[in-house]
Chain A
Amino acid sequence: SAVISQKPSRDICQRGTSLTIQCQVDSQVTMMFWYRQQPGQSLTLIATANQGSEATYESGFVIDKFPISRPNLTFSTLTVSNMSPEDSSIYLCSVGGTSGRRTDTQYFGPGTRLTVL
């Protein structure tokens, strides 16, 4: 199984600012994903981070709000831009299982708890 770390683990930010969350995996993986979990809600997929090309965003999420980088097979970043209190959530990085399918999500990072004031 993959070991995933995320930084920061939590942050409190002011409205209108941006925060970049880092995700590091201990082995090369094909599929990396970013999820959001709003308070009291379940997980929602934001996007698939593609190495060497633009991320693939789910309906309701756009690159201008959630730019993603994937410079190599072990690292990705998610930026939450121009934040508002509605962006207060847990943000989770995950990696795929062995099938290679982008929906085969088995391992999650420890998460970043973001509070926007």
Chain B
Amino acid sequence: EDKVVQSPLSLVVHEGDTVTLNCSYEVTNFRSLLWYKQEKKAPTFLFMLTSSGIEKKSGRLSSILDKKELFSILNITATQTGDSAVYLCAVEYGNKLVFGAGTILRVKS
């Protein structure tokens, strides 16, 4: 069964748009949820979330976790073509780290 589900699988937006990426999970012994940006090969760490309701922010990117409803969102405002990438969500639980399938974002100029 899928423990970490990301949606949408892909989307195409225009520069300047705001996007919201979703990550839902169903695990026990939750420890943290991580977001990564993957361009070409190597994922780049964005955020680690451990507490509900506390927004993490870095420039135009922000993320928040809801441990009651078991999901997280990643927001990107004023998108740029350089934001085009695969965005990965991963959930750390027990002694495992499980990745979602990712959301492919394409930003058109």
Contact = CB atoms under 8 A, between A and B. Distances in A.
Contacts of A45: 96-97
Nearest to A110: B42
Contacts of B97: 45, 103-105
A103 B102 contact: no
A31 to B, nearest CB: 11
Nearest to A106: B45
Given A101-B92, A103-B92, A42 B99 contact: yes
Nearest to B92: A103
Contact of B34 (A90, A106, A109): A106
B13 interface: no
Given A101-B92, A104-B92, A43 B41 contact: no
Q: Is the interface of B mostly helix, strand, loop or mixed?
A: strand
Contacts of A107: 45
A113 interface: yes
Contacts of B109: none
A75 interface: no
Contact of B42 (A97, A102, A106, A109): A109
Interface string B23-53: 0000000011010100011111100100000
Nearest to A33: B97
B42 A103 contact: no
Interface in A1-55: 41-45
B21 interface: no
A107 B44 CA distance: 7
B40 to A, nearest CB: 8
A45 B97 CA distance: 8
Interface of B: 31-32, 34, 36, 40-45, 48, 88, 90, 92, 95-97, 99-102
Given A43-B43, A90-B41, A103-B31, 12 more contacts: A45-B97, A92-B42, A103-B95, A103-B96, A104-B32, A104-B97, A106-B45, A106-B48, A108-B42, A109-B42, A111-B41, A111-B42
